[in-house]
Amino acid sequence: MSIGAAETLPFSSGGLGFLDGAPSPEGGAGPIAARSPRQLFWRRFRQDRVALASLAFIVLLVVLAVAAPLIVNLLGLPGPNVANANLTNAFGAPLGPSRAHPFGVDQLGQDVMSRVIYGARVSLLVGVFGTAIATVIGVFIGVVAGYRRGWLDTLLSRLIDVVLAIPILLLGLGLGAACAVRGCVKGLVQPGLGSIIFIIVLANWTYVARIVRGLVLSLREREFVEASRALGASHSRIMRREILPNLLAPIVVYSTLLIPANILLEAALSFLGVGIRPPTVSWGQMIAQATPIFNTAWWCIVFPGIALLATVLAFNLLGDGLQDALSPRAAR
């Protein structure tokens, strides 16, 4: 994932324009009622058709993931791991889309549509969960560094520099390969899903920490924080009451935009052979397995790829929508 992806995010330059609130859009006669930033946000979000559509898609995806067995059953498809040697020809090449198997089958005769549906589980789990953990850690470190300043800040910033200098994919490869079979960190990080989430957390906390640190730095100097301090509020109170609530919005937007990048990271790692292991199904792994035969068995690659594309796109659009709803001045 490009550095650009991370740094194009709305608040990286410390822009907290949304805090100033936008002028009330009401026109016409009658008293003008003040609206809180939150209400304004919802209003704008609700008007954004594209963002709503992506949200709907994501909800659908979640439903698919959670109810996968039910849905596969309803559609009359075999399970994702039901191998059927009769569905490959004498040379082992799989059969294409047909009535019984709308997306065709793979080299083992497993139904591709069924596997695509089950694959949603991994992508969502890894993307959302991994990002969430990375965000929590990143926020914690960012707040500590930004608020405390001093040597702790310097140390943490330098640490972030070091981690950012290592290419993520290579790091992921090394860790993934090392943690295969038995896991690492004394079994805390299990191979497969566990190691992927571990790698995602390792790779992402730095971005979050950096952004949050920047935000906290500018927040500290704000009038309302100064006012609180003048009133004698303790540091933790300031943290809780003034700083954290104002971080909420940018963090939510930011992590929503990180999710798709992480879904792609998992797919890339699975593609390179160090990700999810069978019998768990992941879209990246499906593409990896289909790469040797994509020439003749295009269905094995196209469908998981489209699923990935659609999911990532939906999250990207959602994130864009959230960002626009929060600070309408920018970009739109």
Partner 1 sequence: MSAMMRRTAPARRRGFALALALGLSACGSSGSSTSPSPSSESISASGIQTPATEALSGGRRGGTLTVLNHEDFEHLDPGEAYFSVDYEASYATQRPLFSYEPNSVTPIPDMASGPAVISSDGKTITVHIRHGVHFSPPVNREVTSADVAYAIERGANPNVANPYFEAYFTSLEGSAKARGGPFPGITTPDSDTIVFHLTKPNAQIVLDALALPLSAPVPEAFAKKYDAKSPTEYGNYLVATGPYMFKSNGEGKVLGIGYQPGKSATLVRNPNWRSSTDFRPAYLDEIDIKIGGDTNVIGRQVLEGSELVQNDAVAKSSVQLAYEHFRSQLQISPGAGDHYIAVNNKRGPFANVNVRKAFWAALDRVAMGKARGGSLVTDVMTHFLFPEIPGFEAAGGLAGPKVDYDEHPEGDPAIAEKYMRMAGYPSGKYTGAQTLEVVGSTGDPSSEVAEIANNTLHSLGFKTKLSLVDTSVMYSKYCGVPAEQIDVCPNVGWGADFADGQAVLDPAFNGRNILPTGNNNWGQVDDPTINAAMDKAELIIGTQARANAWAAIDRELVADAAAIPSDWDKEAAIESKDVAGVGDLWNTGTWDYSFSSLK
Partner 2 sequence: MTSYIVRRLLWGVVLLVLVSALTFLLFRVLPTGEPARLRAGRFASPKVIAEIRNDLGLNKPLIVQFWLYMKGIFLHLNLGYSYYSSASVRSLIADRLPATLSLTIGAAVIWLGAGITVGVISAVRRRSKLDRASMGWALALISAPEYWLGLIVLYLFAADIGKLKVFPGAGSYVGLTSDPWGWFTSLILPWLVLAATNAAIYARLIRGSMIEVMGEDYIRTARAKGLSERRVVLRHGLRSAINPVMTILGLDIGVLLGGAILVETVFDIPGIGRLNYDAITHSDFPIVQGTVLLAALFIIVANIVVDIAYAYLDPRVRFS
Alpha helices in 27-184 (DSSP H): 37-47, 49-66, 68-74, 112-124, 130-148, 150-165, 168-178
Sole binder of partner 1 in the list 108, 189, 233, 244 (CB under 8 A): 108
Name which of 145 and 308 has its Cβ closer to partner 2. 308
CB-based burial label for 219 (10 Å; 0-12, 13-18, 19+): buried
91 belongs to the binding site for partner 1 (CB under 8 A) = yes
Rg of the chain's alpha carbons, rounded to an integer?
23
- 46-85 mask for partner 1 (x: CB under 8 A)? -----------------------------------x-x-x
**One of 5, 293, 302, 316 touching partner 1 (CB under 8 A):** 293
Q: Which does 279 bind (CB under 5 to 8 A by kind): partner 1, partner 2, none?
A: partner 1
Binding partner at 202 among partner 2, partner 1, none, C-beta below 5 to 8 Å by kind: none
* Binding flag, residue 3, partner 1 (CB under 8 A): no
Read off φ and ψ for residue 105, nearest 5 degrees.
-125, 170
- Cβ neighbours of residue 52 under 8 Å, at least 6 residues apart? 45, 46, 321
Residue 2 interacting with partner 2 (CB under 8 A):
yes
What is the CA angle 184-258-269, rounded to 5? 40
| 2 touches, from partner 1, partner 2, none (C-beta below 5 to 8 Å by class) | partner 2
Q: Which residues bind partner 2 (CB under 8 A)?
A: 2-5, 7-8, 161-162, 164-167, 169-171, 173-175, 177-179, 184, 260, 264, 267-268, 271-273, 284, 287, 291, 294-295, 298, 301-302, 305, 308-309, 312-313, 316-317, 320, 330-331
